[in-house]
Structure 1
Amino acid sequence: MRRDARVFQAFPIRRSLLALGATAVAGAALALAAPHAHAADKITIMVGGINKLIYLPPKLAENLGYFKEEGLDVELQSQPAGVDAENELLAGAVQAVVGYYDHSIDLQSKGKEITSITQLLLVPGGMEMVRADLAGSVKSMADLKGKTLGVTGLGSSSSFIAQYLASRAGLKTSDYSMLPVGAGNTLIAAMKQKRIDVAWTTEPTTSILLASGDAKVLVDMSSVDGTRNALGGLYPASSVYVNRSWMNSHKAESQKLARAFVKTLKYIQTHTPEEIADKMPKDYYGGNKAIYVQALKASMPMYSPDGKMPAGGPEQVLKVMAGFNPNIKGKNIDLSKTYTNEFVDQVK
């Protein structure tokens, strides 16, 4: 009986050992697959020029620890122009982009569904600037005939805005040329070398050009009033946009991203430019923190207080783009698919 009992007890032990072996094999398989699992969980955000003040929120959110607070593994990457970031998103190399909202409309006209899930800026937050030696003869966009306009990239938001301002002044696209010069130091160099006559740029580059005396303001869209005067209405700019299919299959991640960015916008509203500057990398100052703080102070009104798309904003952007963009003119654009307040509305 004792031997039978030992035999009887051995079967469960063997079964347990077999189960443990199977678990070990499964664990090894999971370990081999782990890099892929982590890669899928990681969210890469491409920013169209990460050191520009119009794109300040993603780096600020990272440095404040807001992505980690949401349990997100976020990597920020930078491209010199929004159109380059857009291409990375379409290629599936990144999961989100911080760039101008107008790309969502432009891409829908090309059969791509991109949706903004958080609006960061109420206005473009930049200026058309003219070289100082031409300021006497170029006093408005109407004076650009035969001139070269500097833009971050062809097909970028800066090119959209420049073309619309020129068309509003009565010019055709054949009346001027556009040269892609990137942003920041490369744009400043192009201005100093007289390769461009006018350029769309944002802070802190605008403050640097003004301080050096190399350029003067031609059109100011860094404020709500200035934007309305130039374009006839608000032009919501920097946003967090994703592929609509990714958004629909990653609702939880979309919600966490929206919450992190809304918290960052609230931080901007409740802290001084000096306090915000202290949270940013020192190399963003370009060796002059005072100018950076000054530029940030001038930029504070452009940031959205809550991440929501302002009423009438999408319609105004569509109106601007349809004014010159043959891809959009006459097409039926479903604006409801280009943005959503679904996620920011749930942030307390």
Structure 2
Amino acid sequence: MRNPARYASLAAVGLLALSSLTACANDAAGSTADTGSGGKGETVKIMVGGLDKVIYLPAMLTQRLGYFGAEGLNVQLLSEPAGVQAETALVSGQVQGAVGFYDHTLDLQVKGKSVESVVQFSHAPGEVEVVSAKAAGSLTSPKDFKGRKLGVTGLGSSTDFLTKYLAVKNGVNVSEFTPVAVGAGPTFVAALQKGAIDGGMTTDPTVATILDKKAGKVLLDMRTPEGSQEALGGPYPSSSLYMQTDWVNGHKDTVQKLVNAFVKTLAWMSTHSADEIAAKMPADYSQGNKALYAQAVKSTLPMFTDDGVMPKGGPETVEKVLKAFNPVIKNANVDLSKTYTTEFVKAAK
């Protein structure tokens, strides 16, 4: 379990503060997943914004299926609790790739960083806005966000972005509620149970645990394309592998191998059941409840693409969402064509 105080300190020092980078590096060193390839082949380090989150399941599943090794790669999967910290590790050069939300590529572009998604895992956020059992009677829609404490994985994370958009879309100014960085998993659930937050945005398996413990209810479900359309007005490409553009251009053979492996995994997922997928994952991901974990996988499966291709209109939806509340992006010209590439996915086919 992570210390919630750490999230607050990371947020306070800012995206690229030295202490944040140091904490990220230390955690990464202690969170390396077994590569399963015997240390052979070209080594690539990828930071994941929560290896045990179902929204990022393709990362570990690709490794467990042996597809990285089959491509001649020795992929080291590292883990941080929030996508914004995976982003930090990438731009600081600690890792070659990050598995996180595509929206970070737009955010980084306006900050002068050239980063692009090379394979798109999803066409929906996979996120769920939940409300605590105690607040459920009065917090019935995003219109009720005013004056509330709302949990997000980290400040500046994609859950933070989406929460702010839902607020603004429903007439609540971002200054009228308080985002609280509580991570995911046990720290999120505890914050909900203890009243540290009234509700918040999270993913499976945290959602499944909340419902199982009757600690809260689903307020808004964005695990399906239909849910994304209703809440955000279009497809919302979220989970992806994104990398610094300069690195991509200088290592195209390696990037192609990574994309080959991920596209193969997405195709495998589209032809296997949630139970079969769950069975491939590390035993500790189920936290002692295999049936609940399989249900979490099943609930989230609709968010994934089966081919790794960027969904049509997806980048535009993400830009619209970010421009609604982010003054830096609102007044900037974002070149969407530089935030993703389909070059490698097309070649993988």
Task: Give the aligned residue type for 1:120.
Answer: F
**1:209 and 2:202 are equivalent in the alignment:** no
TM-score (norm 2): 0.88
Equivalent residues of 2:48, 2:56 under 8 A apart: yes
Segment of structure 1 superposing worse, 242-251 or 212-221: 212-221
Q: Report SS of the residue matched to 2:60.
A: helix
Root-mean-square deviation (CA, aligned residues, Å) is 1.2
Task: Give the aligned residue type for 2:84.
Answer: V
Distance in 2 (CA, whole Å) between partners of 1:304 and 1:153 is 26
Match of 2:11 in 1: none
Match of 2:246 in 1: 245
Distance in 1 (CA, whole Å) between partners of 2:171 and 2:245 is 37
**1:105 and 2:92 are equivalent in the alignment:** no
Residue 40 of structure 1, CA deviation: 11
Match of 1:46 in 2: 47
Match of 1:152 in 2: 153
Residue 198 of structure 1, CA deviation: 1.2
Q: Report SS of the residue matched to 2:179.
A: strand
Match of 1:265 in 2: 266
Residue 192 of structure 1, CA deviation: 1.0
Distance in 1 (CA, whole Å) between partners of 2:332 and 2:86 is 25
**1:188 and 2:189 are equivalent in the alignment:** yes
Match of 2:57 in 1: 56
Residue 246 of structure 1, CA deviation: 0.2
Distance in 2 (CA, whole Å) between partners of 1:48 and 1:112 is 19
Match of 2:130 in 1: 129
Distance in 1 (CA, whole Å) between partners of 2:348 and 2:43 is 22
Task: Give the aligned residue type for 1:69.
Answer: A
Cα 1:40/1:287, change in 2 over 3 Å: closer
Q: Report SS of the residue matched to 1:75.
A: strand
**1:331 and 2:332 are equivalent in the alignment:** yes
Q: Report SS of the residue matched to 1:73.
A: strand
Deviation string for 1:204-235 (max 9, x for gaps)?
A: 11111111111111111011111111111111
TM-score (norm 1): 0.88
Distance in 2 (CA, whole Å) between partners of 1:51 and 1:113 is 28
Q: How does 1:1-348 map to 2 (within 5 A)?
A: 41-348=42-349
Task: Give the aligned residue type for 1:188.
Answer: V
Distance in 2 (CA, whole Å) between partners of 1:105 and 1:112 is 9
Match of 1:6 in 2: none
Task: Give the aligned residue type for 2:90.
Answer: L
Distance in 2 (CA, whole Å) between partners of 1:90 and 1:295 is 31
Task: Give the aligned residue type for 1:141.
Answer: P
Equivalent residues of 2:50, 2:79 under 8 A apart: yes
Equivalent residues of 2:41, 2:74 under 8 A apart: no
Task: Give the aligned residue type for 1:115.
Answer: E
Q: Report SS of the residue matched to 1:256.
A: helix
Equivalent residues of 2:47, 2:98 under 8 A apart: yes
Residue 75 of structure 1, CA deviation: 0.2
Q: Which runs of 5+ in 1 are unaligned?
A: 1-37
Task: Give the aligned residue type for 2:154.
Answer: G
Q: Which has the larger radius of gyration?
A: 1
Residue 121 of structure 1, CA deviation: 1.1
Distance in 1 (CA, whole Å) between partners of 2:41 and 2:69 is 17
Distance in 2 (CA, whole Å) between partners of 1:81 and 1:230 is 22
Task: Give the aligned residue type for 1:251.
Answer: K
Distance in 1 (CA, whole Å) between partners of 2:203 and 2:110 is 27
Residue 39 of structure 1, CA deviation: 12
Residue 41 of structure 1, CA deviation: 3.9
Distance in 2 (CA, whole Å) between partners of 1:196 and 1:301 is 28
Equivalent pairs, count: 311
Q: Which runs of 5+ in 2 are unaligned?
A: 1-38
Cα 1:89/1:40, change in 2 over 3 Å: farther
Distance in 2 (CA, whole Å) between partners of 1:178 and 1:300 is 28
Extract structure 1 runs of 4+ deviating beyond 2 A: 38-41
